[in-house]
Structure 1
Amino acid sequence: MEWFTARGHQATVLTVEPTQEVHHFRQIDLSCSYGGRKIGRMVSAARLAYAVRCMRPDVVHAHYLKGLAWGIPLARFCPIVVTPWGSDVLEEQGAFKEWYSWSLTQKVFASADLVVVHSKYMEGRISPLLSKGVRVVRVGWGINLQTFKPGLDVETLRQRWNIGRDQQVIFSPRLAQPCYRHDLIIRAFSLIQKESPRVVLVIPEQFPDIEYVCKLRRLISTLNLGDHVRFTGSIPYSDMPLWMNLASIMVMVPQSDGMPNTLWEAMACGALPVLNRLPQYAEVIEDGINGLL
C-alpha cells in the first residue's frame, strides 16, 4: 500500500483489524462488535459492499477471502482482483469449517476479474472453486530488500532477551496456533540442545491460541528447556528484520501452508530455512542448496 501511495495513488484499506501505526494510506474499520463472531462477519461483509459502492475505486484487491471479503459479490462496480491465502482455501487449515464457507468463497472467486496465486501448488488447490473462464495468474511474493537485508544491528535484541553473542538462534516465526506445530519444533529442539547447549529457540506469540500456548509452555517445562526458549509475545512487523538477522535458522513445519512471505524475508536476511517437505516449499527451496527440506 505504501508503494502505491508513494507513487501518487490514493489507497484505502478496508479492514476489521486496523493497525495503530502511522501510514500514508487511509484505513476504514468495518469491524462489528455485536451479534457474535458469525453475525459480526456477515455485518462487516455488508459494510464492505456499501463502502465500495460509495467509494467507487478504480480497482478492489481482496486479500484474504474469508469473512470480510464475502461482501465482494455485492460490490461489483469496478475491476476486482482476489488473492487467496492458504487459510482461505485449504481444508486442512479449517477453510471450510462453516457449512456456508465454500459457497461464499466460491462466489468471491466468481466475482473476480483476476485471481492471483503465489505458487503452482495453490493454483491447483483453488481450481475446484473456480468457475469456467476465471483468469488466474501466478505472481511470486515480493519483499522490501531495503528493509529485509543482512547486517542489521541486533545487539539490542540480544540484551533484551538475554541471548549471548556466542549463542545461535533458531527462530520459529509462524502464528502461535496448532497447525504450525511449534510443539514438534520444541521436541526436535530438545535433541539439538543436548548436542549444542548454547542454542536458543525463539517463538513469537502472534495471534495466539491461548490453550495451545499453555500446552507449549508445559512441554518446555517437562523437557527442562525453560532457560533455552524465549517466548517474545507478539512481534511488531517492523521488528521482524531484526529477528531474521538474529536467527541462524528459521524453521517452519506446518501441516499445510500457502506460500508464506516469511520464507522470502528470512532468506533475504541470511537465515537458513529449515522446512518440512511440502510441495509449495519445494518450488522455492532446493534441499541442501538454499535450505533444508
Structure 2
Amino acid sequence: MQKKRILFLGETYRADAITWMNGLKEFGDFEIVTWELHTRSTGVSRIKRLAELSKSFLTIRSITKKFNADMIIAERTTSYGFLAALSGIRPIAIAQQGITDLWPQNSLLYPFKKIIQSYAFKKADLIHAWGPVMATHMQNNHVNMSKVMVIPKGINLNFFEYQDNCNESIIKAIVTRSLLPEYKHDVILKAFAILKKQNIPFELTIVGDGILLSKLKKLSKELGIENNVTFTGRISNNDLPKLLQKSNLYISMPTTEGVSASLFEAMACGCFPVVTNLPGNKSWIIQKKNGILIESENIEKLANEIVWAFENSEIRKNAVLENRKFVEENANYAINMKKIADKYHELINLRSD
C-alpha cells in the first residue's frame, strides 16, 4: 500500500517543525515533502517576505502537481496557512504557533495578517491549538471550534528522563531559550548578579546560540558573574537532557509565549520552573505549587523568587514529581503524535471517500 503524502509548509530548521514532521513519519507512516519562505520575518525584511509570499502561489501549485500530495499542513495560521488555503490541496491542517500569530501588533501589516488568518481559518479542515491559550484566541475570533484540535505535540519522555536534584547544596539553574532579545537573558543575568552580591552560591547554564551571545558574555563579565555562568552555545539534542538533569531550576523570561516545548522538557527532567507570568505558561503552572510565575522584566523579584524556590526544597520536591506526572499524562510525544497522525489519516480517508 502506497504511503500517504503530506506537503509541509513551514521553516524546517525549527525544532517544533522537526518534531511535528518526525512524529508524522514515525506514527503515521507519512511521506513528507517541504517548502519554506527564504526571507526571515524581521525588520525591513518583512516587506521582502511579503513580496516573496505573493510570488509563492505558483511555486506551491507546481510542487502540488509533481508530488501529488494527499494533504497539506502549514506552520502558522498567517503566511503558510494562507498559502495552504490557496494551494488547492485538501484536506488542510494549519497550526497556530503563537498566542495569536498576529505579531507584532504595531506592525503596518497587522490588518493584512488578520485578514489572511481569517481566510486560512475558514478554509482549514483542521486547526491545531498546541495549548488552551491558542484555542481561546480562536474562540474569540469566532473560529469554528469543531475544527480545532487542542493538544501539544509533546516531548520524547524516553529521551527527557526524570532526575531528582532537589538535594543539591547550591542553585543549579538552566536557561534553554534562543539568545534573542525577546527572551530577556539580560534580566536573568542581572537577577543572578544580585544573588552574587548576597553571597548565594549558584551555577547558571545558558544553552543555545543567537545574535546576543557576545553581548551576554560581555554583560556577565561586567556583572562579575562570568565564573558562575556557562554559555554552552549550540549543542546536540543528545546533550540537552543531560544538562537539564544536572539542574534544579529552569528559568525562562520571554515577553511572549505560546506553548513552550522547552518548559515541558525541563518539567520532565525534574527542574523547578521559574517563568514569565504569561497566559501560555499559566496553562501549565500554578503559582508556588508546581512553579513560579513572575513579570518578565522585574529583576529584583526574579532574584527573590529564585532564592525562595531553592530554599523551599519540600515544595520543589513535590512540584517536580507532579510536573513529571503532568507531562507524562498531557505532553507525551508518543501518545499525542499518534493521535494527530490518526486524525490526518481520518481526514484523508474522508476526502477520498
Does the pair score TM above 0.5? yes
CA contact (8 A) 2:9 2:74 kept: no
1:84 matched to 2:96? The reply is yes
Structure 1 residue 279 displacement after superposition: 2.6
The count of residues paired between Structure 1 and Structure 2 equals 267
What SS is found at the alignment partner of 1:86?
coil
CA distance in 2, matches of 1:133, 1:270: 35
Q: 2:67 aligns with which of 40, 44, 55?
A: 55
Aligned match of 2:183: 180
The AA in structure 2 aligned to 1:52 is T
What SS is found at the alignment partner of 1:241?
helix
1:50-89, Cα deviation, whole Å (9 max, x unpaired):
3234434333222233444431122132111111011762
1:74 matched to 2:77? The reply is no
Summarize the Cα distance change of 1:124–1:133 in structure 2 as closer, same or farther, 3 Å threshold.
closer
CA distance in 2, matches of 1:146, 1:105: 36
Structure 1 residue 248 displacement after superposition: 1.3
Aligned match of 2:159: 147
Aligned match of 1:124: 136
Structure 1 residue 32 displacement after superposition: 4.3
Structure 1 residue 204 displacement after superposition: 2.8
Aligned match of 1:3: none
The AA in structure 2 aligned to 1:98 is L
Structure 1 residue 260 displacement after superposition: 0.8
CA distance in 1, matches of 2:292, 2:102: 24
CA contact (8 A) 1:79 1:112 kept: yes
What SS is found at the alignment partner of 2:137?
helix
Summarize the Cα distance change of 1:226–1:74 in structure 2 as closer, same or farther, 3 Å threshold.
same
CA RMSD between the two structures: 3.4
* Worse-matched range after superposition: 131-140 or 188-197: 131-140
CA distance in 2, matches of 1:113, 1:173: 34
1:175-224, Cα deviation, whole Å (9 max, x unpaired):
22222111111111112234455412222344x2x2x4444334323211
Summarize the Cα distance change of 1:88–1:240 in structure 2 as closer, same or farther, 3 Å threshold.
farther
CA distance in 2, matches of 1:118, 1:95: 25
Normalized per residue, the structure richer in helix is 2
The AA in structure 2 aligned to 1:184 is V
1:95-146, Cα deviation, whole Å (9 max, x unpaired):
9563533323332222211212133222222345555677223224422111
Task: Give 5+ residue unaligned stretches, structure 1.
Answer: 1-7, 153-164
Q: 1:202 aligns with which of 201, 205, 209?
A: 205
CA contact (8 A) 1:245 1:271 kept: yes
The AA in structure 2 aligned to 1:142 is G
Instruction: Flag the structure with more relative contact order, 1 or 2, with Cα contacts below 8 A and sequence separation at least 6.
Output: 2
1:114 matched to 2:126? The reply is yes
Summarize the Cα distance change of 1:127–1:17 in structure 2 as closer, same or farther, 3 Å threshold.
same
What SS is found at the alignment partner of 2:94?
strand
TM-score under structure 1 normalisation?
A: 0.75
What SS is found at the alignment partner of 1:232?
strand
TM-score under structure 2 normalisation?
A: 0.64
Task: Give 5+ residue unaligned stretches, structure 2.
Answer: 26-30, 40-44, 294-353
Q: Which runs of 4+ in 1 moved over 6 A?
A: none
Aligned match of 1:232: 232
Summarize the Cα distance change of 1:30–1:138 in structure 2 as closer, same or farther, 3 Å threshold.
closer
Aligned match of 1:98: 109
What SS is found at the alignment partner of 1:243?
helix
